[in-house]
A and B are shown apart, each in its own frame.
Chain A
Amino acid sequence: MAAEKKVMALFENDTRAASAIEGLAGSPWKLEQVHSPIPSSKILSVLKVKKSRVGYFTLAGGIIGFLSGISLAMYSGIQWNLVTSGKPVIALIPFLIVGFEFTVLFAVFGNVLGFLLQTNLPEFKSLQDYDERCSGEHFGILASCAEGQQEALLAFFQEKGGEARFL
């Protein structure tokens, strides 16, 4: 099998970048990565990506948090089994406040965990195939091709209005 060659193209706006991504879809070349300085709905729509699943982690965290908060308050109440201020040992209304705070806390933990797991952060390897201008004002597309086709891929990107180079 021929060795893979990588080409990085930079575009000044996401419309051109999205058009180049669409062009790559019907080509023998492989789209490796897209970098952008801002979240672009145009790019995400041409990539036809699925909805993020971060929300499931957030929801799971929230449920765990609520149950933990309520359980902790109940357990503490039962351990110190004494009626205070005329309130029952297991007093649901005040315990709901604790449950609410724990819900938010654990939902946020779930949110962060989901975000980190799904984005594979922290991760420093991909900095090798990355152009620093992509955090500035350029939209970068990294594509690969079989050896010998890199000139055609380069020309394709240039035709789409990008500034392309071999990696």
Chain B
Amino acid sequence: MPAMTYAQVEETVLKTLRPASLKYWAVVSLLFIGILIGAGCWAYQIAMGIGVGGHNIPVVWGTYLINFVFWVGIAHSGTLISAILYLFRAGWRNPIARAAETMTVFAVCIAGLFPFIHLGRVWMVYYMLPYPNERNLWPNFQSPLVFDVVAISTYLTVSSLFWYTGMLPDLATVRDRASGLRKKIYQIASLGWTGRYEQWRHYTRAYLFFAALATPLVISVHSVVSWDFALGIIPGWHSTIFAPYFVAGAIHSGLAMVLTLMIPLRRIFRYEAIITEDILDNIAKTIIFTGLIVGYAYMVEYFLAWYSHNIVEQESFRWRAFGDYSLQFWIMVICNSVVPLLFFFRKVRRSIPWLFFISLLINIGMWFERFVIIIGGAAHDFMPNAWGLYSPSLIEYAIMLGSFSLFFFLFLLFVKHLPSISMTELKEGIHQGGGHGR
């Protein structure tokens, strides 16, 4: 396919910022209703107490923690695509990097809400902060839960700054084509960027450092999330493979969510010339890789349980596959490890409906992976008299609905008000003679 010109890139991207249709606002309104339902149920929980959720002893970590880990996982691919592939100079990242970074920022915000929701008495949230107090009660910095507070806050701050800094040249482009109030807003948002050589000189350096710092951060954040479990002694959780296993799973789910978002975006905004089949093909190939790692981790967990000769660990894993939550377990295995193998077939990788369908299945599978780990571990630990089952309450389902609605709501607002594709990076790709997505 011939490379696009700068003008074509600009026209295609700026076209998406034109006033939205009624259909768009109808979808936004529906999602807003979803948010209101979630917010209303959270308010109800605050008023009535955390007991309105389905979690109870022995399963005290329910969907709130599942969703927390799920959304943190989704957040990972944004930085992976943007930072790691930037360092590797993989040109195919350019057309999808902005949307993926945006996905990261929104997903981390939503993930960050769940510990608040799970707290019950949300007004006590400041207890997690290290502030001087007369009782000398400080957070325990040896606890992975406090690592989590530090890691997720850092990740949100770094991802947001990375996202915004990367968008400055594009905001200037939008400013230069806008008029009236919009021009003023974009003028302030672009901080007066004019593309002076001094600006580029420092920008390229700063962007490189951003990518270099964000890369180890991505790996650390989901490792820290995994230690929330691995540092506990619960069978099924207390495992040294958790950090790489969680990081691979996070990237796996994030890549699937990138496909879930980019495929409709590509169709609605006529981005076919920018987000080419080759790019989707590359994402699918990466999903094969992460899917194989995840599948390998599932097998290694079983091997460790068998090799350890630890009957509690063995029972925990037997129950996982054949016990009360076996359906969830097999959904997890099939959706995350078996279905992605279809991407070995070029025809599947080049078929948009298949790509979209498989990405949805992986999203579902990854949600169930967190279900199997969190609920499975807590429900079936050392002593049979302490075993118990869990099912989410309606309030939990509603809050989950609210979180998904909030994510898509924010994403929809983003695509109509900010450039959803990095025009600057596409132009750079064209300038270097590599096309815009190779």
Contacts of A146 on B, CB cut-off 8 Å?
none
B116 at the interface (CB under 8 A from A): no
| Closest B residue by C-beta to A130 | B194
From A54, A85, A122, A134, give the contact of B206 (CB < 8 A): A54
B161–A112 contact, CB under 8 A? yes
B201–A38 contact, CB under 8 A? no
- Residue-wise, chain A 49-72 has the 8 Å CB interface mask toward B (1 for contact) of 101101100100000000001001
A11 to chain B, nearest CB (A): 13
B428 at the interface (CB under 8 A from A): yes
User: Total contacts A to B, CB within 8 angstroms?
Assistant: 182
A72–B210 contact, CB under 8 A? no
Chain B, interface size: which category?
A: 35 or more
A135–B192 contact, CB under 8 A? no
Contacts of B203 on A, CB cut-off 8 Å?
39, 115, 119
A87 to chain B, nearest CB (A): 5
- Residue-wise, chain B 90-133 has the 8 Å CB interface mask toward A (1 for contact) of 00000000000000000000000000000000000000001000
- Chain B contact residues: helix, strand, loop or mixed: helix
B424 at the interface (CB under 8 A from A): yes
Given A101-B147, A101-B150, A108-B157, check contact A54 B209 (CB 8 Å): yes
B351 at the interface (CB under 8 A from A): no
- Residue-wise, chain A 129-159 has the 8 Å CB interface mask toward B (1 for contact) of 0101111110000000000000000000000
| Closest B residue by C-beta to A100 | B220
A112–B197 contact, CB under 8 A? no
Contacts of B162 on A, CB cut-off 8 Å?
108
The distance in angstroms between the C-alpha atoms of A40 and B322, with both chains bound, is: 60
Interface residues of B in 393-433 (CB under 8 A from A): 424, 427-428, 431
Q: A136-B173, A137-B10 are in contact. List 6 more A-B contacts (CB 8 A).
A: A36-B195, A44-B197, A77-B141, A107-B213, A115-B206, A136-B10
Which B residues are within 8 Å of any A CB, using their own CB?
5-7, 10, 130, 136-142, 146-147, 150-151, 153-154, 157-158, 161-162, 165, 168-169, 172-173, 175-177, 187-188, 191-206, 209-210, 213-214, 216-217, 220, 224, 424, 427-428, 431
In order of increasing CB-CB distance, the 8 nearest A-B pairs are: A137-B6, A76-B138, A73-B141, A132-B176, A122-B191, A52-B205, A39-B200, A115-B206
